[in-house]
Structure 1
Amino acid sequence: MSKRSGFLRLGLFVYPSGHHIAAWRHPDTAANAGISFDYYRNVASIAEAAKLDLLFLADGAGARSDNDEVLSRTAHSYVAQFEPVTLLSALAVVTQRIGLVATVSSSFNEPFHVARKFASLDHLSGGRAGYNLVTSANDLEARNFNRDEHDSHAARYERAEEFAQVVSGLWDSWDGDAFLYDKQEGRFFDPARRHVLDHKGRHFSVRGPLNVPRSPQGRPVTVQAGSSEAGKELAAKSADVVFTAQQTVDEAADFYRDIKERAVRYGRDPDHVKILPGIFPVVGRTRAEAQDKFEALQALIHPAIGLNLISGGWTGIDLSAYDLDGPLPDLPPGNGSQSRQHLLAELARRENLTIRQLYLRVAGARGHLQVVGTPADIADALEERFETFGADGFNIMPPTFPGGLTDFVELVLPELRRRGLARSEYDGPTLRANLGLPEPAPVRPGDRTPSP
């Protein structure tokens, strides 16, 4: 079989202190990283020097627990982090080429606000903005927005589909050459190049136009992270990049093929939907060194935090009444992340894990691919997923920052470049150029498919 051509698209999933649930307790990390601009600037500098494609920021509009015993023991609870669009606007000033992607919830935002913020970020950064559209899965977020509980999974995705359509439509409010700035004739813009969306749907009524000129890259890049049936449909219709999690090579290939085939059914070029699973790499010069690094982090996990990780906001199902050293029970459908609940259940079944073993198993990678080993081991895993058409690239999730990031940059990237899988220079000035995505042609309001 011939080798697949092209480079891996590599994003960096930035999380305060690191992706391991106990990273903030590690002696080499900054516990207050979530509110330290110097921390983020340093991480961005390392990633850009390594020619990574993008920085990816998660977000939540509420704490992950209302249990003080849980909340007070973890840095992964969204209680001490910058608002991501504000942070990326600051990072736009101190970076030149790396993409800037932030997570926003379609459940707790209005399309006009999101379209305006990311169009502004795209201008501030010279065409490097992207947004990760999520529906949120946590009742505690809903309670910050005049609700007692979150909407059902189906209702959330119905809203998200219309949300994505409106945001995209607002980004097409102006032709690229609409603003004339003609002082002599006294004409600020050409009225013929202004397009009023006038959207009226089930969830939104948005006239437009957007009060920001057309994006330097046509539209900011759209990322989508859901892997449920509804999530895959939304991704196939609207996403440029899909962030996902699969445990096995076969599962990754099945997901990849599914998304690409759905995209074709919607009249899209499948190569214009990039699949970037997460990978949690623990790198050592020897396998023993890598395992020692991993075990040092595992030893810092508090049981209350481990249990909350696989219940709470992930599934919406309380597992506290069950024996930690017993099997994971059959779980009824929750109102949290359905794809993550399915992944956890399948992982526990396949590896015959107890509840305690399950939370230890996912404490770093959160269900994403986890590789503990040498640079060659990490590169082998990435190459295998790429060659078997399970990924177009990866979102790197270092266990700690900055150490886990520098391990990847200094040890794994040279190996990937030696294999011809990673580039040494950026392809262009915009995020779309570096991801191999074309600039989209504007769609006029009359040509858009009405929302259901």
Structure 2
Amino acid sequence: MSTPQQLHLSAALDGAGWHPAARHQPDGTPQFTLDHWAGQAATAEAALLDFVTVEDPLSRLPGPGDDLDRRLGHTLRRLDALTLAGALAARTRHLGIIPTVVLNTAQPAPIAKAIASLDHLSAGRAGVRTQLSPAKPIPLETLFTPEVQALLAQIFDRAADVVSVVRALWDGAEDEALLRPLAPGRFADPDAEDADAAAAAAEWRLDPAPSTAPRSPQGHPVVFTLAHILIPWRYGARAADVVAVTPHTAEDARTTVAEIRTEQAAAGRADRTVHVFADLLVHLDEKPGAAADRRERLDGTLGTEHTSDALTFAGTPDELADLLQEWQAAGLTGYRLRPATTAHDLPAIATGLVPELQRRGLYRTAYAEGTLRDRLGLGAP
């Protein structure tokens, strides 16, 4: 009998949880203290999760939670993800720490230095969640128009160029001439007739003596992205080590994985390990029906049914394990779980879901030594 392929598990940390009413529960008000966040990281590490991501978007879509905030006098705020990641690295020993960096207008050199520094401080447990977060959210009804799709293609091409240059900087490249071919047109043209004007117009620049961190323990910290449709899938296949997607059925998962593998081959990365995870928003409870009841109470506080880009699951750890196993057969290699409320659902992942997966032989029983790249089987960069 063959040994089942073990799953990778991670968690997305975002304040009090991913349900908009979570921060309005008695145990759910976001606390902007290190103890609040370190407690979440400790729970994730006790669950032997591969890593956690820390949210930090430039913008977000308006939603019913905004009205609730206004009625109750609250405002959604976030701490800086990079600063928080450094603090969490110091409070953990094994857990991977992946802060969000918005790439819209980012310069590659500061990203490379910040994430390499985090990798040193965490002894090889760092990554970066690359996110495209437009200043003005794109309405869903216009998303698939030719104009918006063309704009998205440009934005994600730029993001892929950022990652290419960041990886080269991690490898020690310090000469702009070595970076120029990785991102055509992004750096100043040295042959321009007016060199000063060309430099002023350039999107990126590298100082003659750049301040960089030493090569990090992983060489290349893990690059993670969330992708919903073809253009972001293409970006993930080209640039990332882990691509999280949002299927709602096993067939959705199978189709998405196939699309990403096709794009991965087209990008010349067929021989590289690129994980495809699924994002799931989870309400968990050991007692049958209790998670659904809790979701209904949260929706009642919100004043409407909460929907998400990812599938919302409400059930027992056994039922969730069944779903993860079914979707694994569709080609997924792991999952990023979004706790509906971190006070309840993150501990439920640690004490309910993980033991059930271990019982089925689908999850580790201890951390092994090594870097986050080692844990994910990514190999040398």
TM normalised by structure 2 equals 0.84
1:173 paired to 2:160: no
3-state SS of 1:47 partner: helix
1:242 paired to 2:240: no
Q: Which whole-Å CA distance do the structure 1 matches of 2:379 and 2:7 have between them?
A: 17
Q: Which amino acid aligns with 1:88?
A: A
Q: Which whole-Å CA distance do the structure 2 matches of 1:74 and 1:265 have between them?
A: 50
Consecutive unaligned residues in structure 1, runs of 5 or more: 142-150, 175-193, 304-359, 441-452
Question: 1:115-194 to 2 correspondence within 5 Å?
Answer: 115-139=112-136, 152-173=151-172
Partner of 2:100: 103
Report the Cα offset of residue 12 of structure 1: 0.9
- RMSD, matched Cα: 2.7
Partner of 2:179: 199
Indicate how the Cα distance of structure 1 residues 69 and 27 shifts in structure 2: closer, same or farther if over 3 A, else same.
closer
3-state SS of 1:128 partner: coil
Report the Cα offset of residue 373 of structure 1: 1.4
Figure out how many residues of one structure are paired with residues of the other and give that number: 348
1:86 paired to 2:83: yes
Contact 2:246 2:278 in 1 (8 A): yes
Deviates more, 1:212-221 or 1:368-377: 368-377
Report the Cα offset of residue 407 of structure 1: 1.2
Indicate how the Cα distance of structure 1 residues 78 and 127 shifts in structure 2: closer, same or farther if over 3 A, else same.
farther
Question: 1:48-87 to 2 correspondence within 5 Å?
Answer: 48-62=45-59, 70=67, 72-73=69-70, 79-87=76-84
1:18 paired to 2:17: yes
Q: Which whole-Å CA distance do the structure 2 matches of 1:256 and 1:434 have between them?
A: 21
Q: Which amino acid aligns with 2:40?
A: V
Partner of 2:377: 436
Report the Cα offset of residue 388 of structure 1: 2.3
Contact 2:69 2:76 in 1 (8 A): no
Q: Which whole-Å CA distance do the structure 1 matches of 2:205 and 2:342 have between them?
A: 41
3-state SS of 1:255 partner: helix
Q: Which amino acid aligns with 1:85?
A: L
Question: 1:207-226 to 2 correspondence within 5 Å?
Answer: 207=206, 211-226=212-227
Contact 2:68 2:302 in 1 (8 A): no
Partner of 2:40: 43
Q: Deviations over 1:2-23 (max 9, x none)?
A: 8783211111100111111111
Identity of aligned residues (%): 30
Q: Which whole-Å CA distance do the structure 1 matches of 2:108 and 2:45 have between them?
A: 30
Contact 1:99 1:431 in 2 (8 A): yes
3-state SS of 1:268 partner: coil
Q: Which whole-Å CA distance do the structure 2 matches of 1:25 and 1:78 have between them?
A: 11
Q: Which whole-Å CA distance do the structure 2 matches of 1:430 and 1:291 have between them?
A: 38
Partner of 1:376: 318
Q: Deviations over 1:85-104 (max 9, x none)?
A: 10000111111111010111
Question: 1:301-380 to 2 correspondence within 5 Å?
Answer: 301-302=302-303, 360-362=305-307, 366-380=308-322
Q: Which whole-Å CA distance do the structure 2 matches of 1:140 and 1:6 have between them?
A: 39
Indicate how the Cα distance of structure 1 residues 272 and 67 shifts in structure 2: closer, same or farther if over 3 A, else same.
closer
Report the Cα offset of residue 426 of structure 1: 1.6
Partner of 2:194: none
Report the Cα offset of residue 299 of structure 1: 0.8
Indicate how the Cα distance of structure 1 residues 404 and 74 shifts in structure 2: closer, same or farther if over 3 A, else same.
farther
Report the Cα offset of residue 265 of structure 1: 2.9
Indicate how the Cα distance of structure 1 residues 78 and 4 shifts in structure 2: closer, same or farther if over 3 A, else same.
farther
Report the Cα offset of residue 419 of structure 1: 0.6
Deviates more, 1:13-22 or 1:53-62: 53-62
Report the Cα offset of residue 163 of structure 1: 1.2
Q: Deviations over 1:51-106 (max 9, x none)?
A: 1000111212246559996484499x984211001000011111111101011111
Report the Cα offset of residue 248 of structure 1: 1.3
Q: Deviations over 1:384-427 (max 9, x none)?
A: 001221x1110011111121111121111111111111111123
Match of 1:400 among 336, 341, 349: 341
3-state SS of 2:339 partner: coil
Indicate how the Cα distance of structure 1 residues 65 and 227 shifts in structure 2: closer, same or farther if over 3 A, else same.
closer
Question: 1:403-422 to 2 correspondence within 5 Å?
Answer: 403-422=344-363
Q: Which whole-Å CA distance do the structure 1 matches of 2:49 and 2:272 have between them?
A: 20
Contact 1:199 1:206 in 2 (8 A): no
Q: Which whole-Å CA distance do the structure 2 matches of 1:259 and 1:25 have between them?
A: 38
Contact 2:101 2:130 in 1 (8 A): yes
3-state SS of 1:272 partner: coil
Partner of 1:285: 286
Report the Cα offset of residue 239 of structure 1: 0.7
Q: Which whole-Å CA distance do the structure 1 matches of 2:106 and 2:58 have between them?
A: 10
Q: Which amino acid aligns with 1:260?
A: R
TM normalised by structure 1 equals 0.71
Contact 1:85 1:102 in 2 (8 A): yes
Q: Deviations over 1:174-203 (max 9, x none)?
A: 6xxxxxxxxxxxxxxxxxxx7766433323
Q: Deviations over 1:300-341 (max 9, x none)?
A: 1145xxxxxxxxxxxxxxxxxxxxxxxxxxxxxxxxxxxxxx
Indicate how the Cα distance of structure 1 residues 417 and 74 shifts in structure 2: closer, same or farther if over 3 A, else same.
farther
Deviates more, 1:274-283 or 1:206-215: 206-215
Partner of 1:338: none
Indicate how the Cα distance of structure 1 residues 7 and 63 shifts in structure 2: closer, same or farther if over 3 A, else same.
closer
Q: Which whole-Å CA distance do the structure 1 matches of 2:205 and 2:127 have between them?
A: 22
Indicate how the Cα distance of structure 1 residues 218 and 376 shifts in structure 2: closer, same or farther if over 3 A, else same.
same
3-state SS of 1:55 partner: strand
Contact 2:58 2:134 in 1 (8 A): no
Q: Which whole-Å CA distance do the structure 2 matches of 1:157 and 1:202 have between them?
A: 15
Q: Which whole-Å CA distance do the structure 2 matches of 1:116 and 1:425 have between them?
A: 31
3-state SS of 1:56 partner: strand
